[in-house]
A and B are shown apart, each in its own frame.
Chain A
Amino acid sequence: DQQVKQNSPSLSVQEGRISILNCDYTNSMFDYFLWYKKYPAEGPTFLISISSIKDKNEDGRFTVFLNKSAKHLSLHIVPSQPGDSAVYFCAAGDTGANSKLTFGKGITLSVRP
């Protein structure tokens, strides 16, 4: 039973355009959501997070939106750059930053020059 779902395995966008990565979850106990980025042969690196008390969090080119009623979150990257090409994982937790995280399967983003 997948509690965090990233239904699109891949996304390809043109450099300079917006990338929108989607994530759905089923567990109502999740109160903290994160996005991690992973390059080949490296571990996941933290990108941005959002608490369930917010509906938006912005950090530079990256914005995460949370729709609690729909149990849906999305990551927007504007403008997209070739260096953003990586696998993006959505993750969720229910007891704060040090809790066990549940990850989605990941989305491979390719940004075309």
Chain B
Amino acid sequence: DAGVTQSPTHLIKTRGQQVTLRCSPKSGHDTVSWYQQALGQGPQFIFQYYEEEERQRGNFPDRFSGHQFPNYSSELNVNALLLGDSALYLCASSSQGSDEKLFFGSGTQLSVL
């Protein structure tokens, strides 16, 4: 049973570019959350998607947007990249109505030069 899968594993971009990160949730899960983990910090909540809609959002600018597809997979888009966007981006999945804990993927390491 595949867990949470994320692609790509590593990515290098330059300032001002746009990036799309992808996530497939664990089988049976319908909710996807995205977190940003900067170096030396804990993961910080970006937003959560359920039923193809953004349900909760953390303190991130509108440059960060997302999407959830009918198969529950999700994308995270970041526009106008800044050097400070360099971080590990983690996707986590869960199931609404279940007390099962968040399952995390291994993340996408984004470097902005």
Contact = CB atoms under 8 A, between A and B. Distances in A.
Do A and B interact with each other, yes or no? Answer: yes
Interface of A: 4, 6, 34, 36, 41-46, 49, 89, 91, 96-106
Interface of B: 4, 31, 33, 35, 40-45, 48, 56, 58, 90, 92, 94-96, 98-107
Contact of B42 (A4, A43, A45, A99): A4
Given A97-B94, A97-B101, A98-B94, A43 B106 contact: yes
Where chain B touches its partner, the secondary structure class is loop
Given A97-B94, A98-B96, A101-B45, A45 B40 contact: no
Contacts of B103: 46
A104 B42 contact: yes
A49 B101 contact: yes
A45 B40 CA distance: 18
Given A43-B92, A101-B43, 14 more contacts: A34-B101, A43-B105, A43-B107, A44-B90, A44-B104, A46-B102, A49-B101, A89-B42, A96-B99, A97-B98, A97-B100, A102-B45, A103-B42, A105-B42
